[in-house]
């Protein structure tokens, strides 16, 4: 947080989830786990008190938090963990359609949003350091009818969040894929995400979009970032809502990005485009640290 603040950041996006298969060992941290036939919350020092501390520290540093409530991916548990807990088979997209999974997620959301911070004494719904909640990190629904399933799930869960916490902002937390015909996999609905339809939901306050050109098959076309940014900001203006480039990154691959300096130039250029277009902001993925307790939490995009 100190490093982010020194570099001019005013917001940090972090996880409000950390799920494990079973009860964690004494020295392991988990927010939720499965035990004796049910999903359990860990409210103690090795559980949600860690999230209490994050929120309190953000307030101390003058940083705003965007907190995501579940992961589409398997990192730190995610939607597939819910399915394993509940004994449900099938693709991870069953998380959206299964009544049991929906119920378990609603229970988690209610537990988090009504939690009282052990450090600040405030309910999470009252915390000034929280800027926004996100329903999920990078949700996708890549099955026939996935767009409608994901939209239905989003509408239901967004309404729940707004009932429990009408104060803070809310986003879906998606990658910003469009649902238009014949325009390539980022635009044609391949991932079951409809950025514009999500943005049109009343309870959704702002849109999110990500950009990983190397991962998305655009290594030779880094300039495409400008079109991607322009399209999202334009969609936000039509909906009269801000949109945030909340994840973006480049690997140093020895091709078009052959050094940390070259990476910096590209990232800086993309931030400039967002600023010039009056976008809602940018959050680079991700800042890292070589301290012993954090050095393992990094990937090839880490700065």
- CA torsion, ordered 229, 232, 233, 238, to nearest 10 deg: 160
Query: Domain for residue 224, yes or no?
Result: no
User: Active site residue: 127, 138, 175, 246, which one?
Assistant: 138
Same domain, 135 and 195: yes
Same domain, 73 and 195: yes
Same domain, 25 and 145: yes
Residue 60: exposure state from Cβ atoms within 10 A (0-12, 13-18, ≥19): exposed
Q: What is the H or E stretch that residue 84 is in?
A: helix 79-85
Query: Domain for residue 124, yes or no?
Result: yes
Q: What is the 3-state secondary structure (H, E, C) of 209-236?
A: EEECCCCCCCCCCCCHHHHHHHHHHHHH
User: Active site residue: 59, 134, 175, 247, which one?
Assistant: 247
Establish whether 226 is a catalytic residue.
Answer: no
Q: Specify the pLDDT at position 289.
A: 83
* Tens digit of pLDDT at every position of the chain (303 positions): 988 999 899 999 999 999 999 998 988 999 999 999 999 999 999 999 999 999 999 999 999 999 999 999 999 999 999 999 999 988 999 999 999 999 999 999 999 999 999 999 999 999 999 999 999 999 999 999 999 999 999 999 999 999 999 999 999 999 999 999 778 999 999 999 999 999 999 999 999 999 999 999 999 999 999 999 999 999 999 999 999 999 999 999 988 999 999 999 999 999 999 999 999 999 999 998 888 877 788 899 999
Residues 6 or more apart whose CB falls under 8 angstroms from that of 94 comprise 83, 88, 101
Query: Domain for residue 191, yes or no?
Result: yes
Same domain, 251 and 120: no
E strands in 141-215: 169-171, 207-211
Same domain, 191 and 58: yes
Establish whether 126 is a catalytic residue.
Answer: no
Query: Domain for residue 98, yes or no?
Result: yes
**CATH code, 197:** 3.20.20.80
Q: What are the beta bridge partners of residue 13?
A: 66
Number of domains making up the chain: 2
Q: Specify the pLDDT at position 291.
A: 82
Picking from 255, 247, 256, 261, the residue whose alpha carbon sits closest to that of residue 301 is 247
Residues 6 or more apart whose CB falls under 8 angstroms from that of 204 comprise 154, 158, 170, 171, 172, 198, 241
Query: Domain for residue 216, yes or no?
Result: no
Range of the domain at 251: 235-303
Query: Which tokens is 52 given?
Result: 């209490």
Same domain, 200 and 244: no
């Amino acid at each position: 947080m100190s490093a982010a603040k020194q570099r001019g950041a005013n917001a940090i996006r972090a996880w409000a989830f950390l799920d494990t298969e079973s009860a964690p060992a004494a020295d392991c941290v988990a927010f939720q786990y499965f035990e004796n036939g049910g999903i359990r919350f860990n409210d103690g020092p090795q559980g949600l008190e860690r999230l209490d501390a994050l929120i309190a520290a953000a307030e101390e540093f003058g940083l705003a938090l965007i907190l995501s409530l579940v992961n589409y991916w398997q990192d730190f548990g995610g939607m597939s963990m819910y399915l394993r807990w509940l004994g449900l088979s099938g693709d991870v997209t069953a998380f959206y359609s299964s009544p049991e999974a929906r119920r378990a997620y609603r229970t988690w959301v209610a537990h988090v949003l009504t939690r009282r911070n052990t450090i600040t004494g405030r309910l999470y719904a009252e915390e000034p350091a929280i800027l926004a909640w996100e329903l999920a990190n990078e949700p996708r629904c890549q099955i026939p009818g996935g767009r409608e399933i994901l939209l239905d799930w989003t509408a239901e869960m967004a309404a729940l969040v707004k009932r429990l916490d009408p104060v803070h902002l809310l986003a879906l937390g998606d990658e910003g894929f469009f649902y238009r015909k014949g325009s390539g996999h980022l635009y044609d609905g391949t991932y079951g995400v409809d950025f514009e339809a999500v943005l049109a939901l009343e309870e959704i306050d702002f849109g999110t979009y990500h950009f990983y050109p190397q991962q998305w098959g655009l290594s030779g076309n880094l300039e495409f970032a400008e079109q991607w940014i322009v399209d999202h900001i334009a969609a936000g203006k039509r909906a009269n809502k801000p949109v945030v480039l909340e994840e973006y990154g480049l690997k140093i691959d020895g091709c078009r990005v052959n050094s940390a300096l070259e990476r910096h130039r590209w990232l800086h250029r993309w931030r400039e485009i967002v600023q010039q277009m009056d976008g809602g902001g940018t959050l680079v993925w991700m800042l890292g640290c070589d301290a012993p307790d954090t050095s393992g939490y990094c990937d090839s995009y880490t700065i």
